[in-house]
Amino acid sequence: MKKFKIPSIPPTTNKCIRFPNDIIENVEKAIKGKNCTFTAFVVEAVKVALENLEEKE
């Protein structure tokens, strides 16, 4: 059995970025009714994009 660890929240920095309105609408549609915030969605998308870039190198 895997040992339970209390998760820690990584340190964060606030960054203001502009999104095209259609992307905001599409993200909000994708997360509607799910336990996900806009920020969590964007952070996960960026992580996946960075992993994909590393795989290509």
Question: What is the largest distance, in Å, between two alpha-carbon atoms of the chain?
Answer: 46
**Per-residue pLDDT at 5:** 80
Q: Give per-residue pLDDT as tens, 2-47.
A: 888 887 878 999 999 999 999 999 999 999 999 999 999 999 999 9
Range of the domain at 27: 21-56
How far is residue 54's CA from residue 42's CA, in Å, rounded to a whole number? 18
| Within-domain flag for 5 | no
**Per-residue pLDDT at 17:** 95
**Per-residue pLDDT at 38:** 94
Would the pLDDT of 52 be above 90? yes
| Within-domain flag for 28 | yes
Domain count for the chain, please give it.
1
| Within-domain flag for 31 | yes
| Within-domain flag for 42 | yes
pTM of model > 0.95 = no
Q: Could you write out the DSSP letters of every residue in 24-42?
A: HHHHHHHHTTSS--HHHHH
| Within-domain flag for 52 | yes
Answer yes or no: are the C-beta atoms of 32 and 24 closer than 8 Å. Answer: no
Q: Which two tokens stand for residue 20?
A: 């095209």
